Structure 1
Amino acid sequence: MTEEPIPQDAASADQAPVPSADHGEAGAAETTVSDTVVSVDQARLVLRRVKDPELNLNIVDLGLVYDVQTEGSTVRVDMSLTSPGCPSGPEIMGEAEQQLRGLPGVTDVVMNLVWSPPWTPERIEPRVRAYMGF
């Protein structure tokens, strides 16, 4: 009895294989996108793409991102805005979520808007604060 190979197109679309770092034994299990673990550093790096449109600075350097946690393929972010009445708040929060969802392996993003402690200019990255003249 001979076994027929499984056609390439039979793989499930949501379980697309990702190349494994282990190139050892033939037949070793492949890692799938759903098994990918996202790191806090990866999430923070992606959040640097999000800018406050009024200040034209990224939200990480501005100190708006208070905490980032990852659990498997879920990213949780605690962040604030420069003020409760910030007119760009929904835009900034939406862009942050969109950037995180674009990371390979991310299946869920939880954005938590926090007001405690309140944001102050002292939260700005020191090199950026110096550049701004604070």
Structure 2
Amino acid sequence: MLAAPDAFQFEATAQETNAAGALKSDYEALLENLDEAFLVFDTQLNVVSGNTLAQAFAGRAQSELHGASVFDCMPQPLASILADRLQRVLRARKPERFEAGAFDGRQIEARVFPCSGGAAVLFNNVTEAFHL
């Protein structure tokens, strides 16, 4: 017995929906289990998403971070340095790494890399290693 084409389409769509839901859950779990602050920026340098460590790093709640400009969520001079690196990564589509001082005396290592729809940043506190 042959099934109607719509039944196959519905089944594939349900499978795709389940797979997308599982992928989203895995992505969220990965972000929250990172030992580093993680932010995703769009091409206009506005925050698209970030993990809990990024919220703590920026000193802002998720609701305040989402949609905020890099200049609104990071202190100077880190915001200007990061904006420059984000723009370079967006143009070249190649990852970059840099170190900079943060507003509170910490030394930060940042890895900026391209992703779909923008660029992402991993921040790592390297203050102890910096002072050795």
| Structure with more of its chain in strand, by fraction | 2
Structure with the greater alpha carbon radius of gyration: 1
| Structure with more of its chain in helix, by fraction | 2
Flag whether TM exceeds 0.5 (same fold).
no
Between 1 and 2, higher relative CO (CA 8 Å, sep ≥ 6) is seen in 1
TM-score, normalised via structure 2 length: 0.30
